[in-house]
Amino acid sequence: MAMDIEKKLELLKNIRQVDAPPFMLARIKERIHTISNPVTPVQWKWAFGLAGLIMIALNTFVYLSGNKAENKGSIETLVGTMDMSNTNELYHE
Positions in the binding site for another protein (CB under 8 A) = 1, 4-6, 8-9, 11-21, 24-25, 27-28, 31-32, 35
Q: How far is the CB of 14 from another protein (least distance, A)?
A: 6
- Least distance between another protein and beta carbon 19 (Å): 6
Q: Are 77 and 69 in contact (CB under 8 A)?
A: yes
Work out how close the CB of 44 gets to another protein at its nearest, in angstroms, rounded to a whole number: 24
Dihedral class, residue 91 (left if φ above 0, else alpha if ψ from -120 to 50, else beta):
beta
